Structure 1
Amino acid sequence: MSANSPFARLPEAPSFTVTSTTVADGAAWSAEQFSGIFGVPGGKDISPQLSWSGAPEGTKSYAVTVYDPDAPTGSGFWHWAVADIPAAVTDLPEGAGDDIGSALPEGAFQLRGDAGAARFIGAAPPAGHGEHRYFVVVHALDVASIGVPADATPAVLGFTMFGHVLGRAVLVATAETPA
């Protein structure tokens, strides 16, 4: 991973597989994954479908995050974070990250991202800023509950996961808004 990787300064973790019927690794988001909330024409803020396999032995739960390190904020932008996904769950349907997390498995919950909402917020790169990368990550954890409150931020989730990550499955989507 490059120095601009969100994992560049974290301990290495074994990889496992994440796939999506919504977007292929390295491909651009469709209009549904852009942000209507942020005013992108055609944007629908629909979270991607995700399936994962091959998690390390000892996995007791998962967390899912979507992060844009290329946002012009100095700290990137968290688009989605879900904690406490049970170890028996290996997929999330498209749209699971709606306002109430209606398709999340029992026990899992969404954290408030950088837009201030506990839901998936789609891509909205500034016009002419260039291509942004969206790291869609499934984190395999060694605890059944990561122990963060529902009002925690994704950064607090990441800090709390430090030392509990058994593996990471990474898919990178892209988005660009022409000038």
Structure 2
Amino acid sequence: MIRPFLPPFSQPAVDDLRHRLRQTRWPEIVSGADSSTGVDRGFLQDLCGYWMNTFNWKSQLDRVATLNHNRYQAREGHIHFIHEKGKGPSQLPLILTHGWPGSFLEMLKILPLLTDPAAYGHDAADAFDVVIPSLPGFGYSDKPAQPGMNFFRVAEIWAELNERSRV
């Protein structure tokens, strides 16, 4: 079963994240260390400072929430996906999947190019109906409660999702 889904926003969760980032105890810098020994501490501190003080979590979620989010009930739990219909005479179905680790967010830049090629100077007949699922345990998808989730099962879920999202 497929149901519409609205990505939730929680200001308390953002506040908690900012608090935890402020409380970070940074390790000492090891003399002679380079990128082969881990992430540069200064870079990581700058990134955390950006998340705490500059990044607008609510506006980013509002932007992502303009897409058509859904959840599909698989045997293993709910699978989040975006489903955007193509703007053309006869759209082909297309599933875009992220890798591990990753996120459906990686696919959003190319989404309009695939669903509305005419807006970018290409033939409208090349439009796709695009489904972008989140792997089990990622994004807004439930994590599997039982062992056995592997790339074979994910492929089966994507086939189920493709079949059910086309109706």
* Shared fold, TM over 0.5: no
TM-score of the two chains, using structure 1 as the length reference: 0.22
Structure having greater relative contact order (Cα 8 Å, sep ≥ 6): 1
TM-score of the two chains, using structure 2 as the length reference: 0.23
Structure with higher helix content:
2
Structure with max Cα Rg:
2
